[in-house]
A and B are shown apart, each in its own frame.
Chain A
Amino acid sequence: MTYQLTAPLLDACVIGVVAAGDTYGYTLTQKVQEVVDISESTLYPVLRRLQKSGLLTTYDQPFEGRNRRYYSITEDGKKQLDFYKAEWEVYKNNIDKLLGGASNE
């Protein structure tokens, strides 16, 4: 991948995926990996941090005789996601302007 993913953008992506439906560590990593080049172990600290800051919560559900921990979004998480989306929109448009050469209008 040519462009680097920064920490806040990765946070935003993770919250975005969880907002689309409760999910667990493995599928979450898979979904992000489809788009961004991250290692299998990248998301654990991120999930911990988002959980600590109250943007995500977890609950456990039995699966094939073992436990599976699901992550779901909180009200604070939804607000934060809206903020990230708005910020991204601004950033994306500005970059598009520069790339399109429209900055010298």
Chain B
Amino acid sequence: MNKTEFLKALEKQLKYLPKEDRDDALNYYSEYIDDMNFAENEDISIRLGKPKDIAKNIISECAEKTIDKHDSEKGAKSTAKIVWLTILIICSSPVTLPIAIALLTIVFTLVLTITVVLLSLGLSALAVIAAGIICSVLSFMLPGFGTKLVALGIGLIIAAVGALLLIITIFLAELFIKLIILICKAIIGKKKEA
């Protein structure tokens, strides 16, 4: 593996990192290889290490940096970035491919299931709120003051129950996002020790 081949392989391993991080790493190793003074036909990866292993180090450092940033600036974008980097780390870790695929499938299925459940809960809550409001509005069309009042009361209660359901759903969703970040941090932290 010569210099060009090595850098190309490294670039391929780092293709999902932000461009700035990738270019910095490639520049560093390009300089480094020049300084190592390789012979014409020498295999660079024997002395320097395999591109895949080097990429693993770089990705881990990038992930730690993102987590540090996430602690100071919250937001959906940085959460997505953490999840993304965790997937990269799992893929670049030495566990065999079938296990990695199985792990990712399990995580993906779990996330998908919980997301769907939360989404349907939220939609049900919205439907209940709507039903309550419609009931309250329609109550004015009913004959008799007493009946109007009872229907209005029932409508408002239903709307309140819906609102409560919505609040609980939002709370659960936030908890769920926190859990995902925690799991990602655990995985990244584990890689750091290795």
- List residues of A whose CB falls within 8 A of some B CB: 24-27, 29, 39-42, 44-45, 47-49, 52, 66-69
Interface residues on B, range: 20 to 34
> Do A41 and B49 form a contact, CB below 8 Å, given A48-B61, A52-B65?
yes
Partner of A44, one of B36, B57, B64: B57
> Closest A-chain residue to B65, C-beta based?
A52
One of B25-33, B96-104, B169-177 at the interface: B25-33
Please indicate the chain A residues that have their CB under 8 angstroms from the CB of B49 in the complex: 39-41
Contact across chains for A66 and B61 when beta carbons are under 8 A apart: no
B49-71 Cβ-contact flags toward A at 8 Å (1 or 0): 10001100110110011000000
- List residues of B whose CB falls within 8 A of some A CB: 24-25, 27-29, 31-32, 34-36, 47-49, 53-54, 57-58, 60-61, 64-65
> Do A45 and B28 form a contact, CB below 8 Å, given A24-B35, A40-B48?
no
> Closest B-chain residue to A30, C-beta based?
B35
> Do A67 and B31 form a contact, CB below 8 Å, given A41-B54, A44-B57, A45-B60?
yes
Please indicate the chain A residues that have their CB under 8 angstroms from the CB of B47 in the complex: 40
Instruction: A26 to B33: give the CA distance in the assembly, Å.
Output: 9
Shortest distance between the CB of A56 and any CB in chain B (Å) = 13
Instruction: A70 to B29: give the CA distance in the assembly, Å.
Output: 14
Instruction: A27 to B64: give the CA distance in the assembly, Å.
Output: 26
Partner of A41, one of B27, B31, B35, B48: B48
Please indicate the chain A residues that have their CB under 8 angstroms from the CB of B34 in the complex: 66
